[in-house]
Structures are given as structure tokens and as C-alpha cells.
Amino acid sequence: MDLNKRPDTMERITTPTLAKAFIDEQVKLIREQVKDKKVLLALSGGVDSSVVAALLIKAIGKQLVCVHVNHGLMRKGESEQVIEIFQKGLDANLVYIDATDRYLEKLAGVEDPETKRKIIGAEFIRIFEEEARKLEGIEFLAQGTIYPDIIESDGVKAHHNVGGLPEDLQFELVEPVRLLYKDEVRVVGYELGLPKAMVDRQPFPGPGLGVRCLGAITRDRLNALRESDAILREEFDKAGLTDKVWQFFTVVPDFRSTGVRNGKRVFDWPVIIRAVNTVDAMSATVPEIDWAVLKKIADRILSEVKGVCRVLYDLSPKAPATIEWE
């Protein structure tokens, strides 16, 4: 039997009752597989790794060691949320690594988007490897692989996969949600008690804000990006748009434009608002956001975010534009 093939008879998990049955079964299977050994998990705070973490905590408690690497490219409050939920809420064995300086040094002056992605990915593997070497008695590696990852990319998940670890650090895999579709992972996440903000989180690229701070990343623009993104999220939430728009974020380009503040000329950054609706991210449309909502967001960004003098709304569908800017 191919353990990576979803049986035709497997019922779609759509209700809390079905989710509970799945959780009970997985808890049993995980205990059988892991016994009294330790399991390592890279916990990004995304839906899939969070659900896997919660499942494993339920099954084996402190035998799970979660490593959360803050690469400094997280959205505002996201690393704090991971700590709050897993360390404080679920009493997880959580190793938190603030690698912001390390990443920003590596990325300094790097303009090419693909090179940026490679550096962010490679640095993650390096940090994860360092942590894995510090820990003793780890025999398993848990991953948030889901069924589309298996179908679409032979089980290689760009932002979860730590398969780039060296030979002597190859662990047996624990992938409890590998046969589930995203919507099922969410139902299971709710049943495990994870909060809506985490379970319903919109897709967030592995390289995080790194590909939204265009060109060579600088701290000032990264800060403008994080703060403007937080304002956008807050105002979309207030306007009831969070569940209606598939993905939304801000982008800060690497050019300045002229502005005027307190009667003086300034040369500051623009902020671009990007919002899209899509089914599969292959094509996307731009939602018509209420003018008053956009105006409120623009006003707040212009008055609250340092170094920004202009706000734009991106009207480009995919194709020809991609969802992300780089």
C-alpha cells in the first residue's frame, strides 16, 4: 500500500466529528511510530506546521521539540503569536531563534529576487541544522506536508521541506496531515483548538516580507512594510474583508518619490496595496474595495508609518501581473 496515496474511500473531513476521529487516529499512529523518542519540527506559524505541532503535542507532549526561526521577515506580531499559542497556551517544548540580524546581514545589498529566495531558504536550513545538532536524541522529523504538496511536487514542500539537511542528520519523517487537503487541515486545526487567526491565515510566502521589500532589503523599508501591512490587515478586518479577499498585503519598492511634509520637501518611499481573489493562485482578479476603506488605510499609513509619502492600489490582475511583486 502506498502510504502517500489518498485512498479513494477516504472521507473528506468537513465536520468537527470527522476531524475528531482523524485526530484520535493520528494520535494513536504517532504514538505507535514515535514511542518514547523525540521529534523535531520546524514551526513557521503557517497553518500546516501549526496543525502538525498541535497534533504532535496532543500525542507526545514534550517529546516534540518545535523550532521557530524568526528570520526577521515575518508579519507584525506573528512570531509573538507562535510563542503565545504554543509555548504559553499549549506548554510546548519550543526553541525560539531570533535570526533577524543574521538574515539581514546575509541579504544586505542583494537585489535579485531569486537570489534573495535562495539565501533565505539556505539560511533556514543552516540554522535548523545548527539547532538539530545541539539537541540530543532526536530520531524523527515532523513536517507539515499536505496532499497537494505530494501531488504537485513529489512531496517536496518549498517552505517546510528541510530535506536539505546533511546525510548525518536524516531523520525518519512524521507527516500526519500528508493525505489532507488544505480545507481539511483547517477543520482539524479548529478541532485542535487553534485560533481562527492561525487556522484561517492567508497564504504567506516562505521568504515572507523579503519578497515584498523590493530589491535590496533595508531595515527602514522593512519596517515601513511591516507597519503598513499591519494597518492594512487591521482595517480589512474592521471592514469585514478578511474572509472575503483571498490574499492582501503591502509592498515597498526600492525607489523614492517626492513629497511634502510640514512645508518641506521630502523624498520618501511609496507603499503599494495588493489585494487579490483567486481559486488556485494560477490566475487572480483584483477586488473592488470600498473607496472609504482604501482612503482610511492610506490616511493611516501616511500618518503612522515613518518614511512613507505615497500610497497606491495595485489594479493588475494575474495575468499579466503575478500576485507577488518579485
Q: By C-beta, is 33 or 316 nearer to ligand XMP?
A: 316
Site for ligand XMP in 154-213 (CB under 6 A): 158-159, 203, 205-207
How open is the CA angle 276-280-281, to the nearest 5 degrees?
45
Of 6, 275, 43, the closest CA to residue 142 belongs to 43
Interface size with ligand XMP, residues (CB under 6 A): 13
Q: How far apart are CA 178 and CA 143, in angstroms?
A: 9
By CB under 6 A, the residues from 252 to 281 that bind ligand XMP are 281
Q: Please say whether the dihedral angle defined by the alpha carbons of residues 99, 100, 104 and 107, taken in this order, is positive or negative.
A: positive
Q: How far is the CB of 275 from ligand XMP (least distance, A)?
A: 12
Distance of alpha carbon 195 from alpha carbon 252, whole angstroms: 29
Separation CA 176–CA 146 (nearest Å): 9
Phi, psi at 253, each rounded to 5°: -75, 170
Of the residues 33, 100, 247, 277, which one makes contact with ligand XMP according to CB under 6 A? 247
Residue 117 as a binder of ligand XMP (CB under 6 A): the answer is: yes
Q: What is the enclosing helix (H) or strand (E) of 42?
A: strand 38-42
| Beta carbon nearer to ligand XMP, 77 or 203 | 203
Q: Which is nearer to ligand XMP, 64 or 120 (CB)?
A: 120
C-alpha cell at 218: 533595508
First to last CA, the chain: 41
The footprint of ligand XMP on residues 205-244 (CB under 6 A) is 205-207
SS3 41: strand
For the bound state, the minimum distance from the C-beta of residue 181 to ligand XMP, rounded and expressed in Å, comes to: 16
Ranges within 7-66 binding ligand XMP (CB under 6 A) = none
Residue 62 beta carbon to ligand XMP: minimum distance, rounded to whole angstroms: 30
Q: Which is nearer to ligand XMP, 76 or 159 (CB)?
A: 159
CA 194 to chain CA centroid, nearest Å: 15
DSSP run (H or E) holding 257: strand 257-261
- Part of the chain binding ligand XMP (CB under 6 A), chosen from 28-36, 95-103, 122-130, 317-325: 317-325
Q: Identify the three-state secondary structure at position 223.
A: helix
Q: Which is nearer to ligand XMP, 72 or 207 (CB)?
A: 207
Q: How far is the CB of 58 from ligand XMP (least distance, A)?
A: 27
CA 44/CA 48 separation, integer angstroms = 9
Residue 250 sits at φ, ψ, to 5 deg, of -110, 165
Q: Are strands 93-98 and 38-42 parallel, antiparallel or unpaired?
A: unpaired
For ligand XMP, which is the closer residue by CB, 63 or 79?
79
When asked if residue 323 is in the footprint of ligand XMP (CB under 6 A), the reply is yes
* Contacting range for ligand XMP; rule: CB under 6 A; set: 220-228, 229-237, 261-269, 318-326: 318-326
Of the two residues 268 and 326, which places its CB atom closer to ligand XMP in the complex? 326
Which CB sits closer to ligand XMP, 113 or 307? 113
Least distance (Å) from ligand XMP to the CB of residue 276? 8
Crossing angle of helices 291-304/219-238, nearest 10°? 150
Query: Candidates 90-98, 223-231, 259-267, 316-324 — which segment interacts with ligand XMP by CB under 6 A?
Result: 316-324
Binding site for ligand XMP (CB under 6 A): 117, 158-159, 203, 205-207, 247, 281, 318, 322-324
